Structure formats: structure tokens, C-alpha cells
Copies of this chain bind each other. A is one copy, B any other.
């Protein structure tokens, strides 16, 4: 049986397998970070199931909302992908009426990217649902631990 949630990404199942010796795997920061990140992606996936929204697409919506008129090249830099990747991501948003390309005044090469009203309202809905799901996910940590975690992650990402 095929349900509508088959559209969009699938969270990988990273559950511990009983009876397996994981040796020093958890000692690697990369592995520990990856496991936590996969768990967080599970929350994201439950919040966006069926909408086809992936993390990069959500990021693009947020960035377009906060930086109207941004170019595709800059969007690609923010997402960490090549220009062609920003291109197809933008196509995806435009095809669904969530964003639009507008010509710019002083440069005939570039398009300015803007959210449509539909994109803006979808973003609002996604924000609420993702925050709610992340709230349930992060409930495993005490409030003080959460701020500590964010501070540590920010240091590592910088």
C-alpha cells in the first residue's frame, strides 16, 4: 500500500541493533553528531510529511522571506550547493507557486527571487509545525541543557 507520505524524503532508521558490538563508534564526534541529527530530521520529517519539503527547501523559504530579491547564486552559497543546484531548487519552488523570479533593474543577467503569498503562508505553517515537533523532540533535554547544546553546536559550526 502506497500512502501520500511517500513523496518527499524519508528519515533513515538509525536505531541501535541489539546484540551488536558498536566498538568505539560512539566515541567519534562525527558519528554522535550524525545520530542526533538523524533523530532531529525525524522530527522535521514528521512535521513536513507529504509536502515534499526537504531541509534545503525549508531553508530556501526562510532565506527568501528574510532576503527578498536575493539572486540564485547567493542562494546557492547559503545552501552550500553549486549554482545548478540552486537553479533546480528554485524551479521546484516556482513550479509550485511558492516563489517567483523578477527581473532586476540594473543587471540584465540576474533574477531577484521573491516568495509569493502562497509561499509566505506555507512558510508560516511550516514554521509552526516544525517548532512544535522539535519541541517534542528536544523535550529529552532539560531547559538548561538545550541552551548549552545550542552554544556548543554554534561553536562547532563556526
Residues of A within 8 A of B (CB): 12-15, 17, 20-26, 28-41, 43-44, 55, 59, 62-63, 65-67, 70, 74, 77-78, 80-81, 127, 130-131, 134, 137-138, 140-141, 145, 148-150, 152-158
Contact = CB atoms under 8 A, between A and B. Distances in A.
Which applies to chain A's interface (DSSP): helix, strand, loop or mixed?
Answer: helix
A155 B134 contact: no
B31 A41 contact: no
Given A22-B63, A41-B30, A148-B148, A156 B130 contact: no
B44 A30 contact: yes
Contacts of A66: 20-23
Nearest to A157: B35
Given A15-B80, A22-B66, 8 more contacts: A15-B77, A20-B70, A25-B59, A25-B62, A30-B37, A32-B154, A32-B157, A33-B37
Contacts of A21: 63, 66-67
Nearest to A77: B17
A39 B78 contact: no
Contacts of A152: 141, 145, 148-149, 152
Contact of A81 (B12, B33, B80, B155): B12
Which 6 pairs from chain A and chain B are nearest by CB? A35-B157, A23-B66, A21-B66, A36-B156, A30-B40, A12-B80
Contact of A55 (B30, B137, B153): B30
Contacts of A127: 24
